[in-house]
Structure formats: structure tokens, C-alpha cells
Amino acid sequence: MSRCHSWRPLEVVPEQHAHHLPGECRKCWKPCFRKTDDGAAYCDTCLERLTQHPFGLVRTALAADAATPDDTLDFLMTDHDPGVAKAAERTYMRRMQGL
């Protein structure tokens, strides 16, 4: 059984911490380490929180991660932030090309 390798955003983050990236600040983020099924790199809770995160750079980092699942990349390819959508598309294309 694998464990989630994500930094999980806390549910309530002080406004002055809203633009910190994963792992930058322990007032915004904590390491997850929850058990995951089938060797997945992220647990469902972390994936949900990261895909819905208000800061686009957080969603871009998720989209650029080779360990992000296909269904999450599909969702991120429709993101309103063009940088997020493009990063998800690039990751998906690299995966399809076997890179």
C-alpha cells in the first residue's frame, strides 16, 4: 500500500497566507501521508483540494506532475486559468507519447 506524497492545503487558511505554494508554510499546508489504493501518488482528498485551490500556481503544479491521474488532468485541461489548462495538456501529451 502506498501513501499520498502531497502537501494538503488546510481547510481554513489566513488571508495573508493564501498565495503560499505547497510546503512553503505550515500555516497553510501540512504533509498528508494517507494510505492510497493501487500505488496512487495522491489520496482523493488531496486531489480534490488541489484541483479546487484558488491559487492558479497550485493547480499548475498539480497539472505538471507526472503522477497526476488521467481523470484529474482531463478536469484541469478545462480550467479557467489558461496556464493550468496548458500544463495539464502538456503532461497528458507527454504521457501519451510515453515520455
Other CB atoms within 10 A of residue 24 CB: 12
Predicted confidence at residue 99, as pLDDT, reads 66
* Annotated domain spans of the chain: 2-96
Predicted confidence at residue 21, as pLDDT, reads 87
pLDDT in tens, 26-81: 888 999 999 998 889 999 999 999 999 989 999 999 999 999 999 999 999 999 99
Predicted confidence at residue 98, as pLDDT, reads 84
Q: What does each C-alpha distance from 37 to 44, 48, 68 come to in angstroms?
A: 10, 16, 14
Q: Which residue has the higher pLDDT, 17 or 70?
A: 70
Q: Cite the DSSP H helix spans in 1-99.
A: 44-51, 56-64, 70-76, 82-96
